[in-house]
Amino acid sequence: MASTDIGFIGLGNMGGRMSKCIVRNGGTVVGFDTNSAVVADAGATPASSIKDVVTVCDVVLLSLPDSRVVEKVVFGDDGILANARAGQVVVDLSTAAPESTRRIHALLAEKNAAYLDAGISGGAAAADVGKLTLMVGGESEVLEKVRPVLENFATNIFYVGDSGAGHVAKLLNNFLNAVSLAATAEVMVAGKKAGLDLAVLLDVLNKSSGVNFATLNRFPKIITGDYLKGGLTNTLMMKDVVLYTELVSQLGMSSLNASGPLAAFGLAKALGYADEISNTVVDAIGDISGGVRLHDTKE
């Protein structure tokens, strides 16, 4: 590729961390974010517009909140589609609607540019140390072309199929994440109200059939008052569950298990935790259960 600079649009919570990994490994990032203050914090060279990023970089990474924002970045007058060129690769690391992803892929292909959808998993902690998991959709040969870039922040990179497949896999993963987090939060509040030692309860769960990512990685911290701030918010978790329900509806399925996380994260939003990390769903459940907190320390 002609340009060694890597473009990055969206340098917030996750994008900023991924950008830092690239820079730490010796790469150069040209970045744009509507909040210009975060660009320098991410180690990137500021660009004045999306157009400026696309014009100078052969590989452009996106890390944006949802498809609405992705489409604004792609279809704007000075956006990606208007300025894309043959041989360019755009990698969408957002959690987005697969249908929108496939449309963007087709339109960029008309300009002989490539579009990969690369769902990410691992959260802020994995992003900090460059150990994210990626699930990638699009052309496999394009993935191999940009794999060295992605390896700056991901240790597990899975090719899962054609355009949109990466975002489908991401929605499936995030739905399971939402179910296990919401259910574990409810169980932990019940354990607290029942007078159990929560550390012992977690040891029991983690050696039993109830074990899951939340029992292993989230709640051992939460019961000490550490909510692992910096990860997915309740608002974004709710968005992902809604996208999942839209996906299964398009597939002609019903979702028998979506009501739990929809209720839990909807409750968290309603009680003022919308922009807090999704782990605070346990406090929302605690609020309506008599003001229960899993820990005795102050945040």
* Average pLDDT for 21-39: 96
Same domain, 255 and 210: yes
Cα torsion through 273, 274, 277, 278, rounded to 10: 90
Q: In the predicted model, is pLDDT for residue 149 greater than 90?
A: yes
- How confident is the model over 249-297, as pLDDT tens digits? 999 999 999 999 999 999 999 999 999 999 999 999 999 999 999 998 5
Give a yes or no: residue 298 inside a domain. Answer: no
From 162, 184, 219, the end of a domain falls on 162
d(CA 203, CA 198): 9
Cα torsion through 63, 66, 71, 76, rounded to 10: -70
Same domain, 154 and 35: yes
Q: In the predicted model, is pLDDT for residue 2 greater than 70?
A: no
Give a yes or no: residue 98 inside a domain. Answer: yes
Same domain, 22 and 109: yes
Q: Which domain holds residue 96?
A: 6-162
Same domain, 133 and 272: no
Give a yes or no: residue 292 inside a domain. Answer: no
State the chain's mean pLDDT as an integer.
96
From 129, 146, 162, the end of a domain falls on 162
Same domain, 193 and 269: yes
Predicted TM-score (pTM) of the model is: 0.93
Give a yes or no: residue 293 inside a domain. Answer: no
The total of other beta-carbon atoms located within 10 Å of residue 249's CB is 11
- Name the band, by pLDDT with cuts 50, 70 and 90, for residue 23: very high
Say if CB 150 and CB 157 are below 8 A apart: yes
- How confident is the model over 48-105, as pLDDT tens digits? 999 999 999 999 999 999 999 999 999 999 999 999 999 999 999 999 999 999 999 9
- Name the band, by pLDDT with cuts 50, 70 and 90, for residue 299: very low
Token pair 């996106």: residue = 62
Give a yes or no: residue 209 inside a domain. Answer: yes
- Our answer to whether residue 170 is catalytic in this structure is yes
Same domain, 107 and 58: yes
Give a yes or no: residue 151 inside a domain. Answer: yes
Same domain, 45 and 157: yes
Say if CB 80 and CB 74 are below 8 A apart: yes
d(CA 49, CA 60): 13
Active-site choice (20, 170, 239, 269): 170
Q: In one letter, which amino acid is 4?
A: T
pLDDT at 297: 57
Same domain, 77 and 136: yes
Same domain, 204 and 147: no
Percent of the chain residues topping a pLDDT of 90: 94
* Average pLDDT for 233-255: 96
Same domain, 18 and 155: yes
Same domain, 186 and 220: yes
From 162, 182, 211, the end of a domain falls on 162
More reliable by pLDDT, 88 or 2: 88
Say if CB 44 and CB 8 are below 8 A apart: yes
CATH number for the domain spanning 178: value is 1.10.1040.10
CATH number for the domain spanning 122: value is 3.40.50.720
pLDDT at 3: 63
The 3-state DSSP class for residue 10 equals coil
Give a yes or no: residue 60 inside a domain. Answer: yes
pLDDT at 230: 82
Q: In the predicted model, is pLDDT for residue 139 greater than 90?
A: yes
Give a yes or no: residue 1 inside a domain. Answer: no
Number of domains comprising the chain: 2
Same domain, 147 and 175: no
